[in-house]
A and B are shown apart, each in its own frame.
Chain A
Amino acid sequence: DAMVIQNPRYQVTQFGKPVTLSCSQTLNHNVMYWYQQKSSQAPKLLFHYYDKDFNNEADTPDNFQSRRPNTSFCFLDIRSPGLGDAAMYLCATSRDLRLAGAYEQYFGPGTRLTVT
């Protein structure tokens, strides 16, 4: 089945130690998103890629970076995790929303990050 895969599902890192979360998709979607979700709140968009075009949200801290080496993969790098970065990180994909039709997002299962 076509899907969005996130690894690992649970990640524990130390304060200040860089960590990378990964996302892959078999849907061949142009757009990939990274969200941060805390305590059953609404997902907060960090950034998205339209193909290789990176779009950062204005309030996303510089501590968060992303890479998309190809259509299928996207990575979230947290350069120096703080205690406040502990959260669920969700990857999502969608078709190019400029095309006709309202396309929904497809979400991965998320990676729960714990910072000790």
Chain B
Amino acid sequence: AQSVAQPEDQVNVAEGNPLTVKCTYSVSGNPYLFWYVQYPNRGLQFLLKYITGDNLVKGSYGFEAEFNKSQTSFHLKKPSALVSDSALYFCAVRDGNYGQNFVFGPGTRLSVLP
């Protein structure tokens, strides 16, 4: 069975500082990994994904994520946080070998303080 953990409910960071939102996963086959962001009263918005290849994936709005197979992690990062990055972030995984479904983590609320 697939599962995703986001160990931090809340991450606070000062504007201009680097940010990291953590994600670990478990799948039986090859993992396809995704990050989404959700602003209040909105749907989820795709940020980036890992399929294969380079472990460092670059996405929208200056975000990037690093895939680490040995640690089964896919942490979201940004070198310099903006106040407008404050939102709810979801990590999701799909087992590349099975089905049409995605499994979402519980979400991490990011607050960027001015």
B42 near A109 with CB under 8 A, answer yes
- Name the interface residues of A73-116: CB closer than 8 Å to any CB of B: 88, 90, 92, 94, 96-98, 101-102, 104-110, 112
> Nearest chain-B residue to A88 (Cβ)?
B41
19 more A-B contacts (CB under 8 A) besides A92-B44, A97-B99, A109-B43?
Answer: A4-B43, A31-B100, A42-B90, A42-B107, A43-B44, A45-B101, A45-B102, A48-B101, A88-B41, A96-B100, A102-B49, A102-B94, A102-B96, A107-B36, A107-B44, A108-B43, A109-B41, A110-B42, A110-B43
Question: Is B109's CB within 8 Å of the partner chain A?
Answer: yes
- Name the interface residues of B12-56: CB closer than 8 Å to any CB of A: 32, 34, 36, 41-46, 49-51
Question: Is A70's CB within 8 Å of the partner chain B?
Answer: no
B100 near A48 with CB under 8 A, answer yes
B106 near A42 with CB under 8 A, answer yes
B100 near A42 with CB under 8 A, answer no
Question: Is B74's CB within 8 Å of the partner chain A?
Answer: no
Binding site for A on B (CB under 8 A): 32, 34, 36, 41-46, 49-51, 88, 90, 94, 96, 99-102, 104-107, 109
A-B CB pair tally, cutoff 8 Å: 60
Please, how many angstroms separate the alpha-carbon atoms of A4 and B36 in the complex?
16
B102 near A41 with CB under 8 A, answer no
Residues of chain A contacted by B94 (CB below 8 angstroms): 97, 102
Please, how many angstroms separate the alpha-carbon atoms of A97 and B97 in the complex?
10
Please, how many angstroms separate the alpha-carbon atoms of A104 and B106 in the complex?
18
Please, how many angstroms separate the alpha-carbon atoms of A105 and B88 in the complex?
17
Residues of chain B contacted by A41 (CB below 8 angstroms): 106-107
Mind listing 7 A-B residue pairs with CB under 8 Å? A40-B107, A42-B104, A42-B107, A96-B100, A97-B94, A104-B34, A109-B43
